[in-house]
Chains A and B, each alone.
Chain A
Amino acid sequence: MSATATRRSATWAPDSHDFPTRRYDLVKEFVIALGVMLVLTIVAALVFSSPDDSALSLERWAQEAPNDVVATATGELAGTTTTATYGPPYNTNADGQSLGPVVLPKLAGVTQPIDAANDFVITPLRTLSSDPAVAAALRQWSSASADKRTAWAQAYSDALAAAPDGDPAKVASGDYGPVPALAKGELALASSGALEGLVSSRTSFFGTDSTKPLLLLADGTYLEDQARAQNLGGDQWGIMNETGNYPGQPWLWLYTFWYQIPPFSTSDNADVQVWALMILLSIGFICIPWIPGLRTLPKHLGVHKLIWRGGRWR
């Protein structure tokens, strides 16, 4: 074989139709494969079943972590929660993550507008007009200036953080205005099971959009506590994982890997950086046949000698 032919043999292949052939029943192969896959699936389903850790409700949140509900409602009023400070696509309170000079969320704009204080707390509370304490608190809130509202809510938020277990009953006295009554009302709404519907039904009679109750739940610490206990946290490689002893999405290993190492693990823009890197790597993966060095790599690895070891085609 000439030097040219040797060099080319890594990327060039003769016409497969020119080789001697052997009988090969593709249809039989497929039918057997289908049977094997079906049996393996059914056996695995019967033996291992599948995980179904039931959804958290705002009602359960209120029952099991009432102080977290109060702290979260106060945070929404103070404008300090994740949602309240998010930026696009929910509001304009931040720009969102940047990739160099490009801020993609800002370009996409606010497509699911959310006013955290009003959508999550004030508007639902207006249905509690029969409660005189809440009605009075709402009147006081409405008549106050924006600065005053924020000052009350921020002060109460700080006081809750300083109280033992964040217990509203143990908060030091201070100028919190109507905020404690509003937060207490929010807890009552959540406990009654009404809050979920009040938060989400504003968009549609048919409850197919779970965005707002999910964002509210995620603004607290309760959801994350449950997730971390199941090894689902971002720094636990949680994107790959499933609740209980079940395999999850192990094929996402590379995506979650980047979040574990610098510079991504310490970056404020990690999400967009990891996304950009993964898109680049994915394009590279698709284009392996055209990348010099990579496309000839398998020839040097030698595994092909084990696959084609019969030599009957020569």
Chain B
Amino acid sequence: MSGQLVTSTVPAGAVVQWGFLTITAANLIVILTMIVVFVLAILLPFPADRDEDRP
């Protein structure tokens, strides 16, 4: 057999590559979004409760 026959109707997704690291753009976006959300969750102030602290 020689030559690849590709008949898929769905176009392949975009891929990002650094050396041997390969990741699809969709997966990369998901992971980067998670990191951004994590950093925001840590840095953004949490709304303070007006209720007084109780021991």
Contacts and interface: CB of A to CB of B under 8 A. Distances in A.
Question: Are chains A and B touching in the complex at the 8 Å CB cutoff?
Answer: yes
Interface of A: 20-24, 51, 53-54, 60, 64-65, 67-68, 71, 161, 165-166, 221-222, 225-226, 228-231, 236-237, 240-248, 250, 260-261, 303, 306-307, 312
A70 to B, nearest CB: 10
A67 B5 CA distance: 11
A24 B23 CA distance: 41
Interface of B: 1-15, 20-27, 29-31, 42-43, 49, 51, 53-55
Nearest to B22: A237
B8 A226 contact: yes
A165 B3 CA distance: 7
Contacts of A247: 24, 26-27, 29-30
- Interface of B, helix, strand, loop or mixed by DSSP: loop
Given A230-B8, A260-B20, A306-B43, A244 B13 contact: yes
Given A20-B53, A225-B5, A306-B43, A240 B10 contact: no
Nearest to B19: A260
B1 A221 contact: yes
Given A244-B12, A248-B27, A64 B7 contact: yes
Contacts of A65: 5
Contact of B5 (A20, A64, A161): A64
7 contacts: A21-B53, A22-B54, A68-B5, A166-B1, A242-B24, A245-B24, A260-B21
Nearest to B24: A241
A30 B47 CA distance: 17
Contacts of A250: 27, 30-31
A21 B11 contact: no
B25 to A, nearest CB: 7
